[in-house]
Amino acid sequence: MPKVNANSIRVGNVVEINGKLLAVLKTQMVQPGKGGAFAQFELRGIRDGVKTQERYRSSEQVERVSLEDREYQYLYPEGENFTFMDIETFEQITISGDIIGDPKVWLQEGMVCYIRTYEGDAVAAELPQTVTLRIVEADPVVKGQTASSSFKPAVLENGQKVLVPPHIESGTRVVVSTADGAYMERAKD
């Protein structure tokens, strides 16, 4: 595995520390008034999900792990797990919802995702940046409200709540960010 300087590690990288694989959740470069700069990382264990914090001087070496990215198509949920199919080989794999994280609420049947594996084990999943869903419930437009830039609550077909502009009505298809669940725009279809 290649060793790299601690200051070149980015969010999304996987590193090996003391024989454990850890995903980098947050990075911060700290330049104290006295002494040398250091990199501080928030990490999550790939196998056990335990979060930890680590500090390294910027010149220290860290082992960065190489992962394989492959396209998989989402098929169906199975309790707390999710089943995907490799687009090239048609092999099916089932991965834990913990690996996908919070974006799992945006999974739709047939959606193509990237699944990162290390030595055959799934360690991370990346969904498309946006998803298009229909609004099933939204408050009616209040006269005069369209002049302000206020948003109103709405419920999407997958049960998630999102804030939308006042002109969006029930039945409208909207584009939502899978990263934070924010309304992006009205669908162009």
User: Which residue stretches of the chain have pLDDT < 70?
Assistant: 1, 141-149
Q: Where in the chain is the domain with CATH 2.40.50.140?
A: 69-126, 130-186
Determine the pLDDT at residue 11. Answer: 74
Q: What is the pLDDT of residues 70-81, one digit of tens each?
A: 999 999 999 999
SS3 101: coil
CATH number listed for the domain at residues 69-126: 2.40.50.140
Q: Quick one: 184 exposed, middle or buried, by C-beta within 10 A (0-12, 13-18, 19+)? A: middle
pTM of the model: 0.69
Q: Residue 112 in contact with residue 68, Cβ under 8 Å?
A: no
DSSP assigned state of 81 = E
Query: How far apart (Å, rounded) are the C-alpha atoms in residues 33 and 14?
Result: 30
Q: What is the pLDDT of residues 134-161, one digit of tens each?
A: 999 988 766 665 555 688 899 999 999 9
Determine the pLDDT at residue 86. Answer: 94
CATH class, 130-186 region: mainly beta
Asked if CATH classification 2.40.50.100 holds for the domain at 3-65, the reply, yes or no, is no
Q: Where in the chain is the domain with CATH 2.30.30.30?
A: 3-65
Query: Which residue in 26, 34, 35, 36 sits closest to 58, CA to CA?
Result: 36
